[in-house]
């Protein structure tokens, strides 16, 4: 355990940041799952609206440094490709 006051404070901050980041990551995954669920249900309109919301959330997580920009781009590209191939 941390021995100095500074180290104790940093440990507290690290735990708070970890929990905050976990919530943001969970939100991102939820929005991605909404798109995947709509794609699996073959509902193009719902998938498109869910995709638009997911793109916004992905971009926010990138700007906060939570995920790498290439990971977000990969998700967006793959989901969009699935939506485009839907009938």
Scored b (16 or more CB within 10 A) or e, 34-47 reads: bbeebbeeeeeeeb
What confidence tier does 78 reach under pLDDT thresholds 50, 70, 90?
A: very high
Q: What is the DSSP string of 36-57?
A: HHHHHTT-HHHHHHHHHHHHHH
Q: Are 48 and 61 in contact (CB under 8 A)?
A: no
- What is the pLDDT, as a whole number, of residue 15? 98
| CA quadruple 34, 75, 58, 39: dihedral, nearest 10 | -20
What confidence tier does 1 reach under pLDDT thresholds 50, 70, 90?
A: confident
Q: What is the DSSP letter of 70?
A: H
* Per-residue pLDDT tens over the stretch 26-73: 999 999 999 999 999 999 999 999 999 999 999 999 999 999 999 999
Whole-number Å distance between alpha carbons of 19 and 40? 31
Q: Which domains does the chain have, with CATH numbers?
A: 5-85 (1.20.58.110)
């Amino acid at each position: 355990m941390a021995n100095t006051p500074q180290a104790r404070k940093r440990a507290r901050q690290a735990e708070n940041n970890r929990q905050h980041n976990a919530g943001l990551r969970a939100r991102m995954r939820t929005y991605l799952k909404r798109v995947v669920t709509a794609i699996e249900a073959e509902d193009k309109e719902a998938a498109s609206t869910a995709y638009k919301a997911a793109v916004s959330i992905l971009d926010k997580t990138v700007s906060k440094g939570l995920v790498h920009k290439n990971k977000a781009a990969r998700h967006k590209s793959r989901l969009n490709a699935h939506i485009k191939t839907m009938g």
